[in-house]
Amino acid sequence: MKLKQILDAIQTKLTGLPTTGSNVYQNRVYPVQQLPAINVRYGAQRMQTISTQINNTVEIFIDAFCKASESELDDTLIKIQSEVHAALMADYSQGLSFVIDTTPLGATAPEVSDQSETPTAVQVFTFAITFRHSETSLET
Amino acid sequence: MTLNDSLKALSAEFLSSDFPGYAVGVAGGREYSGIFKKAYVETNRIAGTRPLFQIVETDQLSEGDVITIESRAYTIRVIENDGAGMALLILEE
Closest of B6, B70, B84, B4 to residue B34, by C-alpha: B70
pLDDT tens digits along A15-56: 999 999 999 999 888 889 899 999 999 999 999 999 889 999
Q: Distance, in angstroms, between A76 CA and closest chain B CA?
A: 15
DSSP code of A29? S
Closest of A119, A4, A125 to residue A67, by C-alpha: A119
Structure confidence at residue A63 as a pLDDT band (50, 70, 90): very high
Q: Is B49 on the interface with A (CB under 8 A)?
A: yes
Go through chain B and tell me how many residues it has: 93
Structure confidence at residue B16 as a pLDDT band (50, 70, 90): confident
Q: What angle do CA A30, A36, A38 make, to 5 degrees?
A: 60
> Shortest CB distance from A117 goes to which of B44, B45, B49?
B49
- What does the mean pLDDT of chain B come to? 88
Q: Is B92 on the interface with A (CB under 8 A)?
A: yes
How many other C-beta atoms lie within 10 A of the C-beta of residue B19? 12
- Cβ proximity of A14 and A40 under 8 Å: yes
Q: Is the pLDDT of residue B6 over 90?
A: no
Rounded CA gap, A46 and A130, in Å? 9
Q: Model-level pTM?
A: 0.84
What type of residue is A122? V
Chain B residues close to A31, C-beta within 8 Å: 42, 45-47
pLDDT tens digits along B19-34: 888 999 999 999 999 9
> Shortest CB distance from B44 goes to which of A113, A117, A118?
A113
A28 in helix, strand or coil?
coil
Burial A82-105 (b: 16+ CB within 10 A, else e): ebbeebbeeeeebebeebeebeee
Q: What ipTM was estimated for this complex?
A: 0.74
Rounded CA gap, A23 and A21, in Å? 6
Q: Distance, in angstroms, between B6 CA and closest chain A CA?
A: 33
Q: Is the pLDDT of residue B46 over 70?
A: yes
